[in-house]
Amino acid sequence: MLYRTLGRTGVQVSALALGAMNFGSIGRTTQDEATAMVDAALEAGINLIDTADWYSTGGSEEMVGKALAGRRDDVVLATKASMPMSDDPNHRGASRRWLVAELDHSLRRLGVDHVDLYQIHRWDPATSDEETLSALTDLQRAGKIRYFGSSTFPAYRIVEAQWAAREHRLSRYVTEQPSYSILQRGAEAHVLPVAQEHGLGVLAWSPLASGWLSGAVRAGRDITTHRSTVLPQRFDLSRPSNQARMDAVERLAVVAEEAGLTMIQLALGFVTAHPAVTSAIIGPRTMDHLRSQLAAAQTVLTADVLDAIDTIVAPGVDLAPEEKVDAPPALLDPSLRRRHGAGPAGVGTAP
């Protein structure tokens, strides 16, 4: 296993991290299966485990906690908050009120007295950076978290949060967790350069592009999977973006074969090759998934392979831009990009 420094923290973490999103009801993974995967990951040299309160509504954290019983100090333990945990409008977001309460809930579920990395799962436009960073700084000083980071923040929000930390003399985010893969390279245009500029560690999620790069998705095959049942549009080949992904996968399969690699090795080797990336988060649902992903632990792609990938998916390009989850809210909500009081369609109002 390769190890890298997590941003400027001095903490050494494995180039592959174990993501626990599939532990519990989301992946229909039992406690015994989750524990076996944690065992195998630790044995292979993985020392970073990433979960979130939102995964299986706390079920993932509970499974991770039980799997780590008696060996908590062997791992860099990361979790997240801010996604809705109930219908209560205050059981979500990044306010001090919620983060202080929810961290205690996460610590209880995990069975630990602190987490190494506490991440804001999504930017909360209703809460100021000062409010969030102040709460996180206090939790850090209380010893409940060692570091904190952001997840899937737009690049400009990463910069704003760094500025707010300096302006208000607060601790800062030390990591960012973006979606990044061969098929979704948009992070290269903004987020990764910003992370490098500010010395952030980068934990890349969905490096296999939700299964598109697993080797199981190929032209002419039945691609009905658990994930496509949950998000059927993601594998609907009538959508131009999905057909573009399928075309790219077929060309990438040739590159992998000629290099003597599996598709998974190609995909994970690509993500971990970027100088800004600290770790690629793998999210196995079964032991077989985990074994196939651990096989990429030592994969280092050559320049000619990386060049071949660039000819198939250009740097900075997302083949499915509609799936970006770090877009500014105004790109998703028309009301946020229109002046209040606008008249009917096609009818202007006087200045």
Task: Examine residue 224 and state whether it is found in any structural domain, yes or no.
Answer: yes
Q: List, as one string, the DSSP characters of 141-210.
A: HTTSEEEEEEES--HHHHHHHHHHHHHTT-----EEE-B--SSB-GGGTTHHHHHHHTT-EEEEB-TTGG
Number of domains in the chain: 1
State the pTM of this model. 0.92
Task: Examine residue 351 and state whether it is found in any structural domain, yes or no.
Answer: no
d(CA 209, CA 245): 10
Task: Examine residue 270 and state whether it is found in any structural domain, yes or no.
Answer: yes
Please report the pLDDT score of residue 227 as a whole number: 47
Task: Examine residue 255 and state whether it is found in any structural domain, yes or no.
Answer: yes
Task: Examine residue 283 and state whether it is found in any structural domain, yes or no.
Answer: yes
Find out whether 84 and 121 touch, Cβ atoms under 8 Å: no
Please report the pLDDT score of residue 114 as a whole number: 98
- Confidence band of 344 (pLDDT split at 50, 70, 90): low
- Confidence band of 60 (pLDDT split at 50, 70, 90): very high
Task: Examine residue 161 and state whether it is found in any structural domain, yes or no.
Answer: yes
- What is the CATH number for 198? 3.20.20.100
Task: Examine residue 247 and state whether it is found in any structural domain, yes or no.
Answer: yes
Lowest mean pLDDT among 67-81, 131-145, 222-236, 251-265: 222-236
> Which residues are part of the catalytic machinery?
55
**What whole-number percentage of the chain has pLDDT above 90?**
84
Q: Which domain holds residue 66?
A: 3-337
What number is the average pLDDT over the span 187-211?
97
Task: Examine residue 343 and state whether it is found in any structural domain, yes or no.
Answer: no
What number is the average pLDDT over the span 259-264?
97
Please report the pLDDT score of residue 228 as a whole number: 47
